[in-house]
Amino acid sequence: MFCPNEKAVMHQVGVPSHYGQQVIIDQCEGCGGIWFDAFELFRVKLGEAQEIESLDPDRLRTPSDIEDPRLLCPRDRTALVLYKDPNFPRELILTRCPKCQGFWLNRGEFTRYQETRQKLMLPKEKTLEDQRLGEEVKRILESNRDSNSTETLGKLGAFLSSPAHEHVISPLGSSQDFAEEGKTFDTILNVLIVLLRLFVFRS
């Protein structure tokens, strides 16, 4: 297989995937570019970019110049097209073959691609709105914490998680039971209102 950039013969490199199996990719020793067959780019384990090439790390991070702007797929000679992902920074250059779905990454781009993917996978920090919601729900639950409310909430949870045919309508209880259940109902209603407000604002 020949390098789309320098037309030199590329050599194969084996790298581990996320699932423990080896992925064979093709690399140009001259320009440092890498060819990934369909889906290989997404299968390579994160952190393997630096292991693939025995290049100076500073050089690896610096994209090399593309000698021929009309790059052709090394598999089927189809013209490669620029691939854009809204989640990736604009300066990240990925070219893809529309026929075989393979990817060509210029030197340095694979490292930047994996770094970007790693950042996207990090857990997002809670927003101020998330914190306010948590505090509001906590306040409502704290202000209504007693044994009867807890017991009724438990019954409600069991009721909602059980099939409808398993339930039997219970007889009417005393006025004190109604008062306690009314208090618990108010607690549940307050929590649902807070959650509904958050959902409406976010949508």
Q: Is the pLDDT of residue 128 over 80?
A: no
The rounded distance, in Å, linking the Cα atoms of 137 and 182 is 18
- Confirm if 26 and 34 have CB atoms less than 8 A apart: yes
Q: What sign does the CA torsion over 129, 134, 135, 141 have?
A: positive
Q: Which residue has the higher pLDDT, 89 or 77?
A: 77
pLDDT, one tens digit per residue, over 12-46 is 988 888 777 889 999 998 888 999 999 998 888 88
Side by side, which strands form the sheet with 34-36?
11-16, 22-27, 34-36, 103-105, 94-96, 81-83
Q: Kindly indicate the confidence band of residue 164, based on its pLDDT and cuts at 50, 70 and 90.
A: very low
Q: Is the pLDDT of residue 201 over 60?
A: no
- Confirm if 136 and 194 have CB atoms less than 8 A apart: yes
Mean pLDDT of 141-162: 58
Q: Kindly indicate the confidence band of residue 180, based on its pLDDT and cuts at 50, 70 and 90.
A: low
Percentage above 70 pLDDT, the chain: 60
Q: Is the pLDDT of residue 8 over 80?
A: yes
pLDDT of residue 2: 92
The rounded distance, in Å, linking the Cα atoms of 74 and 2 is 6
pTM: 0.54
Q: Is the pLDDT of residue 142 over 50?
A: yes
Q: Which residue has the higher pLDDT, 42 or 136?
A: 42
